[in-house]
Structure 1
Amino acid sequence: MKKKLATNLWLGSLLCGLILAAALIGAFWTPYDPLAPNFAHRLSAPSAAHWLGTDEFGRDTLSRILYGATTSVGISFLTVLIAMSVGTLLGLIAGYLRGWIDRILMCLTDALLAFPGILLALGLLAVVGANQYGIVVALGIAYMPSVLRLVRGTVLPLREREFVQASRLMGNSEAFILFRHILPNCFGPMMVLATSMFGWVLLAESSLSFLGLGVPPPGPTWGNMLAGSRPFMVQAAWLGIFPGLCISVTLLGVNLVGDALQDKLDPQSKGK
């Protein structure tokens, strides 16, 4: 079991590291301009000049994948950061203070969780607009209730523990108790959820971009590259294969890391 855990963590970390490296490289350098058309080389097959071929406008596919990695990974990271930050703060308040604040927050959380995340994001995009920042806001709101519920459920038993009662008797403020004693004990479940959520958000962003509701062209993301490849699947299959592989590899790496973290940090998984 320990050997399998180490293997999953090592392989997942390697795959995630490769994707992160691609995103960082794409932010500063690409072999060609990912936005500039070159009609003299449109739909060129993979070659020494263009390792992953070119699209219908002659743009280098490798350059667009690297540039799109920066966008897709950046959107996923910002979304997870917003969802975790807001959800953690509200979950701490709801679980520790209880009372009418808890009831109001949980009613709102249950209402949001009644909708699938992607469907809720579609509705929010209609309000905030279909662009890079709109996707971050929409997906952040859509996935925040899951964080709130997890943190609240973790805080509820912690608030009755002896070390919390002792800190309260020592005269420490409620804010000090929350951030010094309770929040650190929530990090384990939060890390597992954040890792899994990154994969969910990446897939949701790719789906929205595939539907034309993500980053508008000509800015590349893996999702809109997949959408743009549909008319050329026969004569230029590489246009859909390589972005799809990037999404698959990222999801595989994130899931392997998430499973390893859950086995390592979740006491119930340890017992099993």
Structure 2
Amino acid sequence: MIAQAFTAVRRMRLNMLLGLIIVGAALLIAVFGPWISPADPLQINLRARLAPPQAGFLLGADEFGRDVLSRLIAGARTSVTIALITVFVAVVLGASIGVIAGYRRGWTDRILMVFNDAMLAFPGLLLALGIMAVFGASRNGIIVALGLAYAPVVVRVVRGSVLSIREREFIEASRVIGNSEWVTMRRHVLPNCLAPLLVVGTMMFGWVILAESALSFLGLGVPPPAPSWGNMLNTARPHIAQAPQLILFPGLCISITLLGVNMLGDAVRDWLDPKMEGVA
């Protein structure tokens, strides 16, 4: 048992460390991208069209002669910014609805959960595609679409936590001293939901990056010429035989970032809830 516990702790620390390094690197690149980018990601140089990696273009050039490394850095800024704002929107909206539904219960809970379950019946990406058809392809459209698509997941998680928290003694004490329901929910119920919110928010960060890349790949994301990892994959498809690096590098960026987010999310989950350790 001691050996198993030691192995589990070591695994959690390794996941936490590697996840923090990868996610931290992505965040730093997103923040300092304009200052570390070797060239203008929108600058066209037709003489360097589809150039392989070389001195002037460390990762090559795309079909318009634009520096791939600079576009990857700018794409990181786009993807990370959209993911952070989307997670914030989904968590705030979902947590608000989840707390109200779980605490008030009764008809309020039933009505809110009917709509929530109806949205959960659709896969997140499919629901986002439908919402994008209304808002159109834009950065704000992606944030609204993915925020609404992933909020029901947060609602379900928070509601489950609130149903347990509302029966505890300190909630009853808050009622006895005369606090209103809104004060009790804000001061005592919501703060005790932060642990599951942190876990689902961390995991959702990776979901949003993948979904944004998929939408951009389908032409429903950030419109060109603004770079994102997804639309870089889309525009590179016709040139995969001649310049495979145009597909390889954006794909690696997406894969490595998702790996880091998943490792960090697993470590956070194991840290906050040891009972869930090892559960996929």
TM (norm. structure 1) is 0.97
**1:271 Cα shift?**
10
Partner of 1:202: 209
Which 10-residue stretch deviates more, 20-29 or 207-216? 20-29
Partner of 1:50: 57
Does residue 112 of the first structure (1) align with residue 111 of the second (2)? no
**1:48 Cα shift?**
1.9
Partner of 1:84: 91
Conserved 8 A contact 1:25-1:66: no
**1:175 Cα shift?**
2.1
**1:105 Cα shift?**
0.7
Does residue 94 of the first structure (1) align with residue 101 of the second (2)? yes
What is the count of residue pairs matched by the alignment? Answer: 272
Q: Distance in 2 between matches of 1:178 and 1:28?
A: 44
- RMSD over aligned Cα atoms: 1.4
Q: 1:268 aligns with which of 264, 269, 275?
A: 275
**1:176 Cα shift?**
2.1
Q: Report the AA paired with residue 255 of structure 2.
A: S
SS in 1 for 2:167: coil
Q: Distance in 2 between matches of 1:270 and 1:252?
A: 18
Q: Report the AA paired with residue 10 of structure 1.
A: L
Task: Give aligned-pair identity as a percent.
Answer: 57
Q: What does the per-residue CA deviation read over 1:79-115, in whole Å, with 9 as the maximum and x for residues that have no partner?
A: 1110000100111111111122111110000110110
Partner of 1:256: 263
Residues 28 and 92 from structure 1, CA distance in 2 versus in 1: closer, same or farther, beyond 3 angstroms? Answer: farther
Partner of 2:16: 9
Q: Distance in 2 between matches of 1:33 and 1:271?
A: 45
Q: Distance in 2 between matches of 1:154 and 1:77?
A: 24
TM (norm. structure 2) is 0.94
Q: 2:158 aligns with which of 133, 151, 170?
A: 151
Partner of 2:129: 122
Q: What does the per-residue CA deviation read over 1:182-222, in whole Å, with 9 as the maximum and x for residues that have no partner?
A: 11211111111001111111101101111111111111100
Q: Distance in 2 between matches of 1:217 and 1:172?
A: 53
Give the unaligned 5+ runs of structure 2.
1-7
Partner of 1:167: 174
**1:134 Cα shift?**
0.4
Does residue 133 of the first structure (1) align with residue 151 of the second (2)? no
Give the unaligned 5+ runs of structure 1.
none
Residues 46 and 271 from structure 1, CA distance in 2 versus in 1: closer, same or farther, beyond 3 angstroms? Answer: closer
SS in 2 for 1:218: coil
Does residue 33 of the first structure (1) align with residue 34 of the second (2)? no
